[in-house]
Amino acid sequence: MDNGTHQKLTILSIADSISPKLLSESELQRWVKEMLLAEDALKALEMLDDRGHEIDLILMGTFLPPPIAGRQVNGFFLSEFIKDKGFKAAIVMLSNVDMTLLKETQKKYKPIIDAFYRKPLTKQEFKELIKGYVLKKINMGKE
């Protein structure tokens, strides 16, 4: 990518979806404009209400703290809610469940969740994930 087309992402990471060590990689700074961290689903919804139009990518796990009204909030429910509210950010689900189960789940949620990755991500996997969404953003800007 040349500097003329170089885009950066605003990313919302919910709960412990990404290791702080990966987020601090200086190499990622060339693709990440801003990393917003929400400690739970409620904080994530507040951030989306305030800045949802700026967020390009949402990273979340399958289960999110805290329980709301006594029920555990999961990433699938939150993803559906985010899309129903009209937010355009890509959603990436990070999970430590079995890959076979993850692939079956991906088939069901593909219209809502853009990609599934197994946790923990390596530095290289995270870098490729971010680069892929930067390229997608550039290509969308050309349409």
pLDDT in tens, 65-105: 766 666 677 888 889 889 999 998 999 988 887 777 777 77
Whole-angstrom CA distances from 80 to 73, 84, 85 are 12, 6, 9
What superfamily in CATH does domain 9-142 come from? Answer: Response regulator (3.40.50.2300)
- pLDDT, average across residues 109-118: 83
Q: What gap in Å lies between CA 67 and CA 117, rounded to an integer? A: 24
- pLDDT, average across residues 18-40: 77
Residue, of 14 and 141, whose pLDDT is higher: 14
pLDDT of residue 58: 95
Q: pTM of the predicted model, to two decimals? A: 0.82
pLDDT of residue 126: 86
Q: Using DSSP, state whether 1 is helix, strand or coil.
A: coil
> Would you call 110 exposed, middle or buried from its count of C-beta atoms within 10 A (0-12, 13-18, 19+)?
exposed
Q: What gap in Å lies between CA 89 and CA 119, rounded to an integer? A: 21
Counting other chains too, the contacts that 123-129 makes at CB distance below 8 Å and 24 or more residues apart are 123/22, 123/25, 126/18, 126/22, 126/25, 126/28, 127/25, 127/27, 127/28, 129/92
Q: What gap in Å lies between CA 41 and CA 65, rounded to an integer? A: 7
